[in-house]
Structure formats: structure tokens, C-alpha cells
Amino acid sequence: MKRKMKSIVSTLYEKVLSGKSKRLIEKLVFVTALAGFLLHLIVIGMQHLGWIGVGSSFAGMESPIDALYTPFSIILFYEVYCLIYYLPKSITIYIGKQFEIIALITIRGIFDELSKLSLTSDLEDLFATPGFLYSMATILILFLLIYLFYLRNQKSIRVDKNYPGLPPGLPTKKKRYVTAKKVLALLLTILFVVMVLHNIVEWLFMDHSLLGFFGQTKMVTEAFFSDFFMVLILTDLLVLLFSFAITDDFPKVMRNSGFVVSTTLIKLSFSVEGIASHLLVVMAVLFGTLMLRLYKMYRRIELPDDNI
């Protein structure tokens, strides 16, 4: 029975979260994002020409820049897949993907601000918009912090590249830990698909017109990612509990606990607006990066042995 379950998990994992599946999804995402961008652009053009939506005002239809929202949203969903893909392989890269997602959400917000700014030719009005300036500053800080996060994890990344599967000589406990994370990744994939389908069905019942769909893209995706980061908090907690089964190593426990805090701060950023949201996001990534830095520092020193 145990072997049969392992075989089922292994087969499902290879079909959904293997390197081959990832490359296939990459191609699909590129085609879908390009098609979504062109379709959104065409719909904006048709509305401006008065062919559709005459006398109505729709969000996300004011400027051609709004068309960038659709491919960015599709890329964000692909980033979620990448996050799930890396969960069994590397916790630090999995957390890094969370940081990448919130950075992409922030830069997508800049395109939204740009579409509004393009309506004025007054430079004072252009740079007096605080939301635009906060977003620009936040994305620069996030980009730097994510760079530092990956920089501190170069050794682990190289090991993962050299050993795409399980590293040789891995203890039985760690193999079970990896298997548990694979099961968790598969469950997270199912939940992710269910949440996406739920959002699509909700949209169909609310407004099934193209104008309505593109107009609601921002609201729907923000609600989706707010809910999904709540799921990620629970996932991080489960990973933390799984790690207890293989080690009581203080630095590792602190690192994983710190990652839970980072995910929680990102989730909270969806509940507020303006500078408060940007500060929470920066705090989340900064905290995760510093936690990883301190963890790496701990690895270089000799710690007391509890068995003495």
C-alpha cells in the first residue's frame, strides 16, 4: 500500500511538476499572454472608435497601456506555478518566488498608474501623484532585495542545478521530508486550479462580456492573490512542521519561521492601500532576506551540541 501511494505520487508529480511539464507550460503561457495582450488592445481600440460599449465607462479601457494588465496577470499565474514547482526542491527558492510575485504585482500597479498619468500633460500633476512615486521606489527596493536574497543562496542554487533530483546519499528522514513536500505541492496545484476555475465561474455569472472581463481583471486578480497568499501561509506552516520531523536545528527553524512571517506580511499588504501596502511588502522581503543572511552566518560557526 505504501509503495503504491509513493508510485501514484511520483507519477502525478512527473506529469504536473516535472521539468518537461514546466517547459510546456512556459510555451503555453507565452502564447496566451501574447494573445491576451493583442485581444485587450483590440477591445480598447474598438471602444475608442465607438464600435462597442458606446456611452459606457469601463475600468481598464482608458489607455492602450491598460492592455499590459492582461499579459502581466497571465505571467503572474505562471509565477504561481513556478512557486509550486520549486516547493519540493528548495524552500528558499520557493520563498524567492513569493517575493517575485509581489514584485510583479507592484510593477503591474505602475502600469495602472501610467495609464492614468498619460491623461495629463502637466508635469507637476504627473509627479505629484504619490501612488506612482511610491510604486516606483518600492519596485526598485524589491528588485535589490530579491537580488540580495538569491545572492545569499548561491551555494544551494548550484547544488540544485547539479542534482536536479534528490542528492546522492540523502538520509531516509530527508527523503520522507521531500516526499511530504511533493504531496503538499500536488495538493497546492489542485487548490490553485480550483481557485482559478472558481474565479472564472464567478466572472461568468457576474458579467460575461469582453469589456466586463478586461475591466474586472485588476479586481479579480488582486482578490485571488490575497486569498492565495492566505493558502501559502498555511503551506509555510506545514513545511515548518515537516522540517521539525527531520531536524531541531535552531538556525533552520528560525529561518523557516521567519519565512512564515514574510508571507504573512505580504498577505497583510493586500488588506491596505497606498504607502502602508508598500511598506508591508518591503518589510516582508527585507525580513526574509535578513533571515536568510543570518541563517547563512550561523552555518559558519560551531554551535553547542545538545547531546553533550
Report the half-sphere exposure of 273 (CA within 13 A, side-chain side).
5
- pLDDT tens, residue by residue, 96-142: 999 999 999 988 888 777 766 655 555 566 566 677 788 889 999 99
What's the pTM?
0.86
Tracing cell 455569472 back to the chain, one arrives at 205
Q: Using one digit for the tens of pLDDT, what is the confidence trace for 186-200?
A: 999 999 999 988 877
From start to end of 104-256, where are the E strands?
none
Higher pLDDT pick, 246 / 213: 246
Distances (CA, A) of 82 to 19, 115, 202: 11, 29, 25
CA 6 distance to own-chain centroid = 28
Q: Where are the domains of the chain?
A: 17-299
Neighbours of 122 (CB within 10 A): 8
Lowest mean pLDDT among 8-22, 178-192, 285-299: 8-22
